[in-house]
Amino acid sequence: MAKWVLTFGDGRAEGRADMRDLLGGKGANLAEMANIGLPVPPGFTITSDVCTYFYANGKSYPEALDAQVKAGLEHVEKITGRRFGDAQNPLLVSVRSGSRASMPGMMDTILNLGLNDETVEGLAANADDRRFAYDSYRRFIQMYSNVVLGLEHHLFEDLLEQAKDRRGVVEDTELDVEDLGKLVAIYKAKVEKETGSPFPQAPLEQLWGAIGAVFSSWMNPRAITYRRLNAIPESWGTAVNVQAMVFGNMGETSATGVAFTRDPSTGEKTLYGEFLVNAQGEDVVAGIRTPQPITEAARIAGGVAAPSLEMRMPEVFREFVAVAERLERHYGDMQDLEFTVERGKLWMLQARNGKRTTKAALKVAVDLAAEGVLTREQAVLRIDPASLDQLLHPMIDPKAERKVIATGLPASPGAAQGEIVFSSEAAEAAVSGASGRSVILVRVETSPEDIHGMHVAAGILTTRGGMTSHAAVVARGMGKPCVSGAGALRIDEKGGTLTVAGRTYRAGDVITIDGSTGQVLDGPVAMVQPELSGDFNTLMGWADEISRMEVRANAETADDARAAREFGARGIGLCRTEHMFFDEDRIVAVREMILADDEAGRRKALAKLLPYQRSDFRELFRIMQGLPVTIRLLDPPLHEFLPHGDRAIAEVAEAMGVDAEKLKRRAEELHEFNPMLGFRGCRLAIAFPEIAEMQARAIFEAAIEAGRETGAPVHCEVMVPLIVARADFDFVKERIDAVARELEADGASLSYQVGTMIELPRAALRAGEIAESAEFFSFGTNDLTQTALGISRDDAAPFLSHYVAKGLLPADPFTTIDRDGVGELVAIGVERGRATQPKLKLGICGEHGGDPASIAFCEELGLDYVSCSPFRVPIARLAAAQAAIRNAARQKEPAD
């Protein structure tokens, strides 16, 4: 027969810690604590399978459940020596939800269940405290009526206030037993008036009502939203824990409290917690009374007059410290504990891994490894790579209130606040003043013309564009917070307004953006600044020892390259040369090159670009000091580079010495309908080989000069973008080799490889032939995603979010690689490439190279490196180590 109910208590349990899928986190940990002999009030857990059954069968229960719940109650009755519903010696229980993933405060809890007009007298006699019994009863009616009967909480709060007013008192505790007795009667009358039925007196009816309410709370709007935000599947369901009540409010020798085994904000090894004498758990969190510190040390440090638990109940304190240490060793992690002391006896109500800041997480992991509780591998697995972002960028103070006005895509992490500006010129003007104001550049979308504005802005907000749009890619490269594709915002550039949900913001109004969540917030919000600790370096060092893949950076400026090295990049995996022309004087030369209508014109522009390129490359080689540097030939999506507006056209016309009107016509001729699928990538070098030749010359000459200067030989990797076959690759490679031969003929010695991006489906499919002449592959999963799914990178935001929200795609495929589709193309590319050239060097340089889930996929495919924007390098290093550990463990598992 299916087992729907598992019991625990008295040093034994039918469940275990590793059964959290079935028992939920709380149930599994209660079972585990019982198993290791800790004092846990006895109880039973109704499994999450019942929740699944409940929703699959019109909110009904499996037939055998009734008998199993009864048996569970008998188990508790036997251990406690009390009986459920007994007038003399009543058993009271708590009913709590508990799902696989922690969902704090999202679902419901009921305490003191089993109280009625008769059992309240039994409780009074047993506790020798009538006031306590009636206070428990009125709390129970209040909680049950709210959670199970759906009555508003305030109905009862109002009645409680009226009772206090009648007595002329302020505190709940000032009501005496008479008052509470009357209040119970008033509460019951209210329930009957509101629901048409009397408050249920039969304990079993109460219990089933509570069980149903907990299962139903899995689908309450709070829980649904929390699951959506935390990617918790609905199918997991919740378990229900029914447990004997213990009372922290049975007088001065009773207490209740919460504690962390280490400080959750710093990770310091010190018991950190608070308690209240003569109180129930909810009083500690409700903030009505001020809880006292648990340890003397904390009491003294906090200058608190009220005694600590250590002073007030020294025996209990010693036992609690021993339990806390034991639990931490048992679970190998910092614990978050809830306990109650009932008349001098300690009871553990909950133990779970404690939530903590990233800084604390690093300290705890490194310390636990030093204490021999964890291996280094286990310590490395403990840190969520994405959480490292907290250390690298300023972020919104977790305690601050957020007034969210819109949500876009979390395009580049970190938070920033500043005055709204609608143009790059306005951004520069605001920032250049003596006061150096902080600005948020707000645009429909950005283009290379905005680079100077992006550079000075504290953050970037766009209303169009996806995770690989210009704004997103450039902001990530700069390490600047960016929210892209916030479609609910309406920008009126001319009027200088930003409108959302009927509210209008003007230039100069302050907003805050959170590039880690995609939120746009009203006004300034409190921030916390980044901080890299010694623990960070220790743990990252362990990660690097464990990793198989290397982590390189996507970087093209000296600042990016330096940041990349500081963050531990092992070279540059992608230098997007088109990004090196964003400075105003250079972009004119690039435009000149693009708009030239003959080779002579182009060569003239190229001659202007060559020295810039050469000195930039030389600088990159110098900073990278012998580490590999992959330089990609130009890949300028034309719409990002063509001049917009008369002023820009006039500038280029002047530089070229041609008529502005003629140039305008040429720009119009070059206009494309689908620029991301247009005249970009190697197509440029195929039409105009002199462009590739200039770039090859600049790269090789820079390598020679840097090698001479530093004495460290430079090995460069020249990369061809957007090829579809061996033929187009070879065409470009021949031009590059010819330049090298020419320089070698002049006595230079060069070490270089020519490889290619694999970023179009056809290239992935023909990887076998391409590997006959390409010396490395770098998977460009931005374009591969765009072309495999037929989704424009720049236009994805408005519809892609619907796919994700409706569960049609598990995640934004531009953020986390679509394993089944794009991933299969990468796998084909790997397999066919390596079939031709077993040692073919393989990397990834799409934005997925910085995404932990995608990095895990790269490890499974056996890539040699991932490359990502500099600020993601630490995340990628940690994710690469974790992927190596998990992949190795998987390979050891016996095949099915």
Assess 241 for contact with ligand PEP (CB under 6 A): no
Amino acid (one-letter) located at 688:
F
- 382 binds, options ligand PEP, Mg ion, none, Cβ within 5 to 8 A by partner type: none
CA dihedral 327, 328, 330, 332 (to 10 degrees): 160
Enter the tokens of residue 386: 């994405």
CB neighbour burial string for 600-616, b if at least 16 within 10 angstroms, e if fewer? ebbbbbbebbbebbbeb
* Chosen residue from 846, 852, 870, 874 binding ligand PEP by CB under 6 A: 846
Which candidate in 845, 848, 858, 868 is catalytic? 845
783 touches Mg ion by CB under 5 A: yes
**Residue 45 or 781: which CB sits closer to ligand PEP?**
781
Q: Does 181 bind Mg ion (CB under 5 A)?
A: no
Q: What are the tokens at 568?
A: 């531990």
Question: Please, what is the minimum distance in Å from the beta carbon of residue 659 to ligand PEP?
Answer: 33
Phi, psi dihedral angles at 751 (to 5 degrees) = -125, 110
Please, which residue, 453 or 637, has the CB nearer to ligand PEP? 637
Beta bridge partners of 405: none
Rounded to whole angstroms, how far apart are CA atoms 157 and 154?
A: 5
E strands, 501-568, are 503-506, 510-514, 519-522, 527-528, 550-554
d(CA 457, CA 439): 5
Which of 631, 845, 856, 884 touches ligand PEP by CB under 6 A?
845
Task: For ligand PEP, give the closer residue by CB, 340 or 867.
Answer: 867
Helical packing angle, 822-836 and 852-861, nearest 10°:
30
For 769, the enclosing helix (H) or strand (E) is helix 767-773
Provide the angle, in degrees to the nearest 10, between the axes of the packed helices 130-147 and 203-217: 50
For ligand PEP, the closer CB: 327 or 574: 574
Tokens 């608190």 sit at which residue?
304
**Binding range to ligand PEP, per CB under 6 A, among 443-451, 580-588, 687-695, 774-782:** 774-782
Residue 576 contact, options Mg ion, ligand PEP, none, Cβ 5-8 Å cut-off depending on partner type: ligand PEP
Among positions 390-449, residues that touch ligand PEP (CB under 6 A) are none
- Footprint (CB under 6 A) of ligand PEP, residues 565-594: 574, 576
Contact string 405-434 vs Mg ion (x = CB under 5 A): ------------------------------
What tokens does 204 get? 């079993």
Residue 190: which of ligand PEP, Mg ion, none does it interact with, CB under 5 to 8 A by kind?
Answer: none
Shortest reach from residue 886's CB to ligand PEP, in Å: 25
Cα–Cα distance, 56 to 52 (Å, whole number): 6
818 binds, among ligand PEP, Mg ion, none (CB under 5 to 8 A by kind): none
Q: List C-alpha distances in Å: 403 to 400, 490, 522, 526.
A: 10, 18, 6, 12
In the bound complex, what is the minimum distance in angstroms from residue 721's beta carbon to Mg ion? 6
Q: Which amino acid belongs to residue 486?
A: A
| Nearest distance, CB of residue 849 and Mg ion, angstroms | 12
Q: State yes or no: residue 780 binds Mg ion (CB under 5 A).
A: yes
33 vs 580, which CB is nearer to ligand PEP? Answer: 580
* Residue 643 binding: pick among ligand PEP, Mg ion, none (C-beta 5-8 Å cut-off by kind): none
Catalytic-labelled residue, pool 393, 470, 639, 848: 470
Are 843 and 861 a contacting pair, CB within 8 Å?
Answer: no
CB 468: neighbour CB atoms within 10 A? 26
Binding to Mg ion (CB under 5 A) within 729-768 occurs at 759
Residue 806 CB, nearest distance to Mg ion (Å)?
28
Among the listed ranges 98-106, 123-131, 393-401, 777-785, the one in contact with ligand PEP (CB under 6 A) is: 777-785
Residue 63 CA, chain-centre distance (Å), reads 41
Window of 26-34, 138-146, 245-253, 782-790 that interacts with Mg ion by CB under 5 A: 782-790
What burial letters (b/e) apply to 321-349, b meaning 16+ CB within 10 Å? bebbeebbebbebbbbbbbbbbeeebbbb
Quote the least distance from Cβ 596 to ligand PEP, whole Å. Answer: 23
Q: What is the DSSP string of 445-470?
A: S--GGGHHHHHHSSEEEESS--TTSH
Comparing CB distances to Mg ion, the nearer of 717 and 759 is 759
Buried b (16+ CB within 10 A) or exposed e, 710-741: eeeebbbbbbbbbbbebebbbbbbebbeebbe
Among 280, 782, 854, 882, binds ligand PEP (CB under 6 A): 782
**Interacting partner of 846 out of Mg ion, ligand PEP, none (Cβ under 5 to 8 A depending on kind):** ligand PEP
Active site annotation includes 470: yes
Phi-psi region at 494: left, alpha or beta (left = phi > 0; alpha = psi -120 to 50): alpha
Binding residue for ligand PEP, selected from 340, 357, 519, 781, defined by CB under 6 A: 781
Nearer to ligand PEP, 705 or 864 (CB): 864
Check the CA dihedral 91-97-99-105 and report its sign: negative
Nearer to ligand PEP, 350 or 869 (CB): 869
Residue 781's binding partner among Mg ion, ligand PEP, none (Cβ under 5 to 8 angstroms by kind) is: ligand PEP
Q: Does residue 550 bind ligand PEP (CB under 6 A)?
A: no
x-marked contacts with ligand PEP along 36-75 as a string, rule CB under 6 A: ----------------------------------------
Structure tokens at 274: 């608070």
Total residues at interface with ligand PEP (CB under 6 A):
10
- Residue 756 binds which entry of ligand PEP, Mg ion, none, CB below 5-8 Å type-dependent: none
Is residue 845 part of the annotated active site? The answer reads: yes
Q: Which stretch binds ligand PEP (CB under 6 A): 208-216, 441-449, 510-518, 780-788?
A: 780-788
Q: Which amino acid is at 878?
A: L
Cβ closest to Mg ion, residue 377 vs residue 783: 783
**What is the DSSP secondary structure assignment for residue 289, as one 8-state letter?**
S
Q: Residue 290: which of 278, 275, 280, 302 has the closest Cα?
A: 275
Which residue, among 689, 676, 688, 775, has the nearest Cα to 722 in the 3D structure?
676
What's the token pair of residue 258? 């919460």
Pairing, β 272-277 against β 292-293: antiparallel
- Which residue is associated with the tokens 């302020």? 170
**Site map (CB under 6 A) of ligand PEP, residues 329-358, x = contact:** ------------------------------
What is the nearest approach in angstroms of ligand PEP to the Cβ of residue 320? 54
Can you tell me which of 203, 518, 780, 829 binds ligand PEP, judged by CB under 6 A?
780
Q: Under the rule (CB under 6 A), what is the footprint of ligand PEP?
A: 574, 576, 635, 759, 780-783, 845-846
Could you give the residue numbers annotated as active site? 470, 845
Q: Under the rule (CB under 5 A), what is the footprint of Mg ion?
A: 759, 780, 783
